[in-house]
C-alpha cells in the first residue's frame, strides 16, 4: 500500500485553540517510507489580533511579517490543496496542531473534510520506550537522533518542519515500518474541502 504523508507544523498566538490563532503553517511531503519529495508549503497567516510580544520573541514572527499575509480561510484552503489525500504527521499533533486546525475551520465556518493524522510522538515512544524520564518533546527526539536543532530558528514552522521530517524519516527506518505505517496509531483532524 502506497501513501503520501505531509509533515506539518503551526505557529500560533498562544496555546489555546479556542482563544488563540494560527500565524504560520509549514509542511513538507514525504513518500511512503519517509523519503522526502522536495515539495514544501509555507505561509504566514494574518490573525485578527496583534501577536503578543512573548510570541514574537519565541518565534521571531512579528506583526509586520503577517500584515499582508493571507487570512486564515485562504491559508487553510491553500494548505488543504497542498495536503490533498495525504496523511498528516505532526509532533504533539493530537494535542496541539489537530485542535488548532479543527477550531480554525469551525470558527471560519468552512466546509470541512476529515484528514488522517499521525502524531510523531508515537514513533518516538515506540523507538525510545516510555520509561520514566524518557522525554518525547521535539528537542529531545532531535537530540537522540542527531538532527541538528540549531539549523535555523526553532519555533519557526519552516525550520521545525524540516527537522521533524528528517526525524520522521530516521525513526521510520529504525523502526522498519512498512509504507502504511502499520501499527502507528492514527487520529484525524479537519481541513477545508478541496475545490
pLDDT at 1: 47
User: What gap in Å lies between CA 174 and CA 195, rounded to an integer?
Assistant: 38
Tell me how far the alpha carbon of residue 139 is from its chain's centroid: 15
User: What gap in Å lies between CA 119 and CA 50, rounded to an integer?
Assistant: 30
The DSSP result for 64-107, as a single string, is HHHTTSPPHHHHHHHHHHHHTTPEEEETTTTTTHHHHHHHHHHH
Residue 152 belongs to what domain range? Answer: 5-192
pLDDT at 2: 54
pLDDT at 97: 97
User: What gap in Å lies between CA 195 and CA 192, rounded to an integer?
Assistant: 9
pLDDT at 167: 95
Domains identified in the chain, total number: 1
Q: What is the DSSP letter of 86?
A: P
CB 72 within 8 A of CB 21: yes
pLDDT at 3: 77
Task: Give buried/exposed letters for 135-173 (b at 16+ CB in 10 A, else e).
Answer: ebebeebbebbebebeeeebbbbbbbbbbbbbbbbbbbe
pLDDT at 55: 96
CB 8 within 8 A of CB 92: no
Q: What is the CATH number of the domain that holds 185?
A: 3.30.420.10
pLDDT at 10: 97
Residue 76 makes CB contacts below 8 A (sequence gap 6+) with 25, 101, 104, 105, 108, 110, 191, 192
Query: Which residues of the chain are under the pLDDT cut of 50?
Result: 1
Residue 117 is inside which H or E element, if any?
strand 112-119
Tell me how far the alpha carbon of residue 150 is from its chain's centroid: 18
Amino acid at each position: 500500500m502506497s501513501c503520501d504523508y505531509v509533515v506539518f507544523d503551526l505557529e500560533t498566538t498562544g496555546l489555546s485553540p479556542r482563544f488563540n490563532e494560527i500565524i504560520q503553517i509549514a509542511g513538507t511531503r514525504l513518500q511512503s517510507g519517509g523519503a522526502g519529495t522536495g515539495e514544501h508549503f509555507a505561509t504566514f497567516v494574518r490573525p485578527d489580533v496583534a501577536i503578543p510580544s512573548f510570541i514574537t520573541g519565541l518565534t521571531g514572527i512579528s506583526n509586520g511579517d503577517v500584515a499582508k499575509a493571507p487570512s486564515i480561510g485562504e491559508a487553510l484552503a491553500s494548505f488543504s490543496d497542498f495536503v490533498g489525500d495525504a496523511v498528516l504527521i505532526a509532533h504533539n499533533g493530537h494535542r496541539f496542531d489537530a485542535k488548532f486546525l479543527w477550531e480554525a475551520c469551525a470558527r471560519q465556518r468552512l466546509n470541512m473534510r476529515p484528514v488522517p493524522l499521525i502524531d510523531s510522538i508515537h514513533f518516538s515512544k515506540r523507538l525510545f520506550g516510555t520509561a520514566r524520564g524518557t522525554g518525547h518533546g521535539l528537542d529531545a527526539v532531535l537530540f537522540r537522533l542527531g538532527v541538528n536543532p540549531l539549523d535555523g530558528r526553532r519555533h519557526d514552522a519552516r525550520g521545525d518542519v524540516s527537522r521533524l521530517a528528517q526525524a520522521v524519516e530516521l525513526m521510520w527506518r529504525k523502526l522498519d515500518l512498512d509504507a502504511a505505517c502499520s501499527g502507528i496509531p492514527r487520529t484525524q483532524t479537519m481541513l477545508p474541502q478541496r475545490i
